Amino acid sequence: MTYMEQLGCRAREASRSVQFLSQGEKNAGLKQVAVELRAESGYLLSENQKDIIREREKGTKESLIDRLLLTPERLEGMASGLEDIAELDDPVGEVLTMKTRPNGLQIGQKRVPLGVIGVIYESRPNVTVDVFGLCLKTGNVAVLRGGSDAVYSNQAIVKVIQNGLKKARITEDSAIFVENTDRAVVNEMMRLNRYIDVLIPRGGAGLIASVMANSTVPVIETGTGNCHIYVDASADIDMALNIIENAKTQRMGVCNACESLVIHRDIIEDILPLLYDRLNNHNVEIRGDETAVLQEGVVPADEADWGTEYLDAVISLKTVDSIENAILHINKYNTRHSEAIITNNYANALKFQNEIDAAAVYVNASTRFTDGFEFGFGAEIGISTQKLHARGPMGLNALTTTKYIIFGSGQIR
């Protein structure tokens, strides 16, 4: 039996008990792990520094190192996130419908766990805690394969999680970490459909495309984020500047950061000098079309820029003559993640929301809100950009499926 088959067997065995944990047992486990994260913060920060030092020596850009970095504040956020999840309603066991057929049969649908959830992800060690928390709350086992850039951090976090589970008298295999960083192990994990019920990739376009193309395990696609902000002709310029600055610069290495701007031609001369100054304060390079490059400092864009998720201090800018052209441009180049319009025109706001093909569509707000915590989910396991089963930030309900429950009184067909 291979290494991954052994992990798969352990996960499937753990699933048999985890799915039947009571709400009280799951909540106690989450709270105990939160206690352990706080108690072991020094150990976790020390292990994280090993990853940070190695990545800096490799020349990894700072926007990506920021995704990898743990701080006391981020650790506290991870711990409090588990406590928030514990306070949420448990969806498992919820009866969604119950109808009586003419023959007397009562047929309903009930929420149940998915079973074993495999997650392949890059950087961001907080994902390890978020995935564990959401999976335990929904009675699922998590098989976690983090990136090699965060291996020390993730190993330490899972060790702390398992210590907390042990103290709460829950099987430590509720969270299983794939320690082997060989790419061949990832390929095998993608074909472990005998043991893993669903696979969720979180990372760059290359990782997601590879999993989508090669997995025999059902996949929930979590997309890259070429997120746009369209500034309509009627937009409040101060509002637009504030939203763009936040969406681009608050954290540049995340999937809900703004990577692309679309600005109506009627407002470009008024907003662009101010926008250039605002973004230049953060050393953000603007790559623009033939109209935008008339502003000193704007770099000419090429075709590739319209569809690029930079995860860096770069943003593209396209000028359009109408909201229709803005929608056409965005739907052509977006990744169906998060898109926003800045406008004072109510009809244009509704048109944008109706016609943009994305998981989250904003009017007069930053794309940075596409997040499980901000949506009130406690955390998220990913942001789905596909249309089947789940779309947008995936919280507890997205980690359940349903089964039909039927009550009879002796009926035969």
Looking at residue 335, its pLDDT comes to 93
pTM: 0.83
Backbone region of residue 28 per phi and psi (left: phi > 0; alpha: psi in -120 to 50; beta: other values): alpha
Looking at residue 396, its pLDDT comes to 94
Looking at residue 172, its pLDDT comes to 98
Looking at residue 177, its pLDDT comes to 97
Owner of token pair 């090669």: 214
Among the listed residues 314, 249, 307, the one whose alpha carbon sits nearest the alpha carbon of residue 278: 249
Q: Is 407 helix (H, G, I), strand (E, B) or coil?
A: strand
Tens place of pLDDT for every residue, the chain, 413 residues?
999 999 999 999 999 999 999 999 999 999 999 999 999 999 999 999 999 999 999 998 887 888 899 999 999 999 999 999 999 999 999 999 999 999 999 999 999 999 999 999 987 899 999 999 999 999 999 999 998 899 999 999 999 999 999 999 999 999 999 999 888 999 999 999 999 999 999 877 788 888 989 999 999 988 789 999 999 999 999 999 999 999 999 999 889 999 999 999 999 999 999 999 999 999 999 999 999 999 999 999 999 999 999 999 999 999 999 999 999 999 999 999 999 999 999 999 999 999 999 999 999 999 999 998 899 887 788 889 888 888 898 889 999 999 999 999 999 99
- What is the DSSP secondary structure assignment for residue 190, as one 8-state letter? T
Domains of the chain (ranges; CATH) run 3-220+394-407 (3.40.605.10), 227-369 (3.40.309.10)
Looking at residue 253, its pLDDT comes to 84
- What is the DSSP secondary structure assignment for residue 344, as one 8-state letter? S
Structural contact between residues 364 and 343, judged by C-beta atoms closer than 8 angstroms = yes
Looking at residue 204, its pLDDT comes to 76
Q: Is 227 helix (H, G, I), strand (E, B) or coil?
A: strand
Burial 122-154 (b: 16+ CB within 10 A, else e): bbbbbbbbbbbbbbbbbbbbbbbbbbebbbbbb
